[in-house]
């Protein structure tokens, strides 16, 4: 199959007002999607559509809804809602498909369109290819998009999503916990605080603005991973038991314990897998994650006696593996479990097929409160992460890494420079013009030594891809949180 022109690994993304993120293009995209995803020609197709808080979301949703309606579809407007809310409700109402207008953890000027099939999952490559094929055959533009309806208002469905979250946390009582919640000024701005307050939490909710200008700005899960100090200070000031941080569309979550330590996706996966395995509820007795997983997770799985399956980077690969496990094993009330370091965690059952930061956080809260007086640091202390760094740098182009002159030999030298190097992963991002390098080392190599090598490799990649000097490079200490400075 030929490579997609518009769809990346997580829908279509771009800077609002340019290229694929203009009302004209999104209208045509709506027409193409409506035609392509209508699998029943005898009934009117039904699409559920929602967005995060970006100011451009309203404009793009009007254009998308107009295109879908002109294709013959009925459109329900779910307003500002987490991406996993659209995934759940698409299946809940029996819709033809769902659509989310969001660029996740990316800055406010960017936006994106992601379609979900009738099972609340990402489209297949064949479906994306068909949309692109139909898109190319739609001529011209349509005027008056700024006056179009967003769709049929459906506030009852937002409440249905909240009730599903509360049902997942059946019996959970959070009255004994003081929780700081960072909503990233994003899609969780209302849903997150509302669910946790209904469950009794003594909540300090921050970054809950929905003006569309500051989503992910110095806030949210990705900011927390890079700059944990600010939230740690707030946790201490508020004498909080823990903190919870979501990304812009709330499909990711990162936690912080009462001591200011980060709890990322690897740790949450370990804790959830151990609990489900112990209760005989882990589907296939298998945890699915990616090759970027911390080595401590592999060691933990071996010690606890459940299987660990490593997939390529990308939540779609994790979900595909979980569905295969579900097909090969009788569910009988069990949960499929998989996810990534970023905090994108899938708790798969008949009604939930994608990662949900709120649902994940509630499952961890359930574990925490099972033992009276247990702190989050005690719970998370069951697994100690290995020293791991992830470097990320902007690139002007993405030529084959194997063909870059001298690049592979530079990677090979890393083992000589870092005697403690345990594993590494080198790749381009599937959603952004970036190169990423993960390095994991045992105590024979310090974090500073590993960071020096990461910086050098990123600078080499930028030179070899003709990236302008001074382009952004970040080296994240995944294990402890925080960015490593240039040596």
Give the active site residues. 104
User: Residue 101 in 3-state DSSP?
Assistant: strand
Q: How far is CA 91 from the centre of its chain?
A: 20
User: Residue 118 in 3-state DSSP?
Assistant: coil
Cα–Cα dist 146/130, whole Å? 28
User: Residue 136 in 3-state DSSP?
Assistant: helix
Cα–Cα dist 484/487, whole Å? 8
Cα–Cα dist 103/121, whole Å? 17
Q: Is 456 exposed, middle or buried (0-12, 13-18, 19+ CB in 10 A)?
A: middle
Which residue has 């929780």 as its token pair? Answer: 179
Instruction: Give yes or no for a contact between 34 and 72, defined as CB atoms under 8 angstroms apart.
Output: yes
**From start to end of 292-383, where are the E strands?**
307-311, 335-339, 345-348
Cα–Cα dist 312/266, whole Å? 15
- CA distances (Å), origin 73, targets 29, 69, 123, 447: 13, 5, 18, 54
Cα–Cα dist 53/60, whole Å? 12
């Amino acid at each position: 199959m030929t490579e997609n022109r518009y769809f990346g690994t997580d829908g279509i993304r771009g800077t609002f007002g340019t290229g694929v993120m203009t009302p004209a293009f999104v209208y045509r995209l709506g027409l193409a999607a409506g035609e392509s995803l209508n699998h029943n020609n005898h009934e009117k197709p039904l699409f559920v559509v929602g967005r995060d808080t970006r100011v451009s979301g309203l404009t793009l949703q009007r254009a998308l809804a107009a295109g879908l309606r002109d294709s013959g579809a009925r459109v329900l407007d779910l307003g500002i809602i987490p991406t996993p809310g659209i995934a759940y409700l698409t299946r809940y109402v029996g819709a033809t498909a769902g659509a989310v207008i969001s660029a996740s953890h990316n800055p406010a000027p960017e936006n994106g369109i992601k379609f979900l099939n009738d099972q609340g999952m990402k489209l297949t490559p064949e479906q994306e290819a068909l949309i692109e094929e139909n898109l190319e055959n739609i001529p011209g533009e349509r005027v008056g998009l700024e006056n179009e309806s967003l769709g049929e208002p459906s506030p009852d469905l937002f409440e249905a999503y909240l009730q599903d979250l509360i049902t997942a946390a059946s019996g959970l009582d959070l009255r004994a916990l003081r929780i700081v919640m960072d909503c990233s000024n994003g899609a969780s701005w209302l849903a997150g605080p509302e669910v946790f307050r209904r469950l009794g939490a003594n909540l300090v909710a921050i970054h809950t603005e929905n003006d569309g200008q500051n989503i992910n700005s110095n806030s949210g899960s990705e900011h927390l991973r890079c700059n944990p100090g600010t939230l740690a200070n707030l946790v201490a000031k508020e004498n909080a038991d823990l903190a919870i941080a979501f990304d812009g569309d709330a499909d990711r979550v990162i936690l912080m314990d009462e001591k200011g330590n980060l709890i990322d996706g690897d740790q949450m996966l370990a804790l959830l897998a151990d609990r489900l395995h112990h209760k005989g509820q882990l589907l296939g007795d298998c945890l699915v994650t990616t090759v970027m997983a911390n080595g401590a997770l592999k060691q933990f799985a071996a010690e606890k006696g459940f299987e660990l399956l490593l997939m390529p980077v990308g939540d779609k690969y994790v979900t595909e593996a979980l569905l295969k496990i579900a097909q090969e094993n009788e569910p009988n009330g069990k949960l499929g479990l998989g996810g990534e370091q970023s905090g994108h965690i899938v708790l798969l059952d008949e009604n939930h097929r994608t990662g949900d930061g709120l649902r994940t956080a509630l499952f961890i809260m359930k574990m925490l409160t099972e033992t009276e007086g247990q702190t989050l640091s005690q719970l998370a202390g069951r697994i100690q992460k290995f020293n791991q760094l992830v470097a990320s740098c902007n690139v002007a182009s993405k030529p084959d890494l194997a063909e870059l002159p001298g690049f592979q030999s530079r990677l090979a030298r890393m083992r000589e420079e870092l005697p403690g190097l345990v594993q590494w992963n080198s790749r381009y991002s599937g959603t952004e013009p970036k190169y990423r390098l993960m390095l994991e080392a045992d105590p024979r190599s310090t974090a500073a030594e590993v960071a020096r090598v990461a910086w050098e490799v990123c600078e080499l990649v930028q030179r070899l891809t003709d990236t302008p000097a001074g382009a952004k490079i970040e080296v994240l200490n995944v294990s402890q949180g925080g960015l490593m400075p240039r040596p």
